[in-house]
Structure 1
Amino acid sequence: MSTFVGQTFQMNQLINIKKVIELTALSRSTIYEMMDENSPYYDPTFPKKVKITQNRIGWSAYEIHQWIENKLASRE
């Protein structure tokens, strides 16, 4: 069952940090902490960023949605 009924995204769409924050309900700092291997909040399952340009990064919308689905499936 998909949690994102009514949400539209392209399979290969790249989304910015604002959209990642909106979808995950995490703060910007928490997201970056989850990506930092030296952080106690590091989550190796969190989707990797994609370098779009020299000054711009994004995330795969599909991978973010899959990460959320996996979190929901693994809850107790």
Structure 2
Amino acid sequence: MKVLRLDAVVLTTGLARSTIYKLIGSGEFPRPVPLTGRCVGWIECEVNAWIRSRIAERDCV
């Protein structure tokens, strides 16, 4: 299991950091895991699953 920091999530998804936090707030993106103090990370497989779900949604249209 790999933990991604925000910069890696931005690069992986192509989304801006503000968009990522907006999607988290609306429950549409995986929530970060607290690591230490103000440091958070995202589980790579959860981010990849979110990307796959977006692809599946696109393909269903």
TM-score normalised per structure 2: 0.89
Per-residue CA deviation, residues 14-33 of structure 1 (Å, 9 max, x unaligned), is 00000000011100111111
**1:63 — aligned with what?**
46
Match of 2:32 among 49, 64, 76: 49
TM-score normalised per structure 1: 0.72
Identity across the alignment (%): 32
What is the number of residues matched between the two proteins?
A: 59
**Richer in helix (by share):** 2
Point out where structure 1 has 5 or more consecutive residues left out of the alignment.
Answer: 1-11, 37-41
**2:7 — aligned with what?**
18
Max radius of gyration: which structure?
1
Could you say which structure has the greater relative contact order, defined with CA pairs below 8 angstroms and 6 or more residues apart? 2
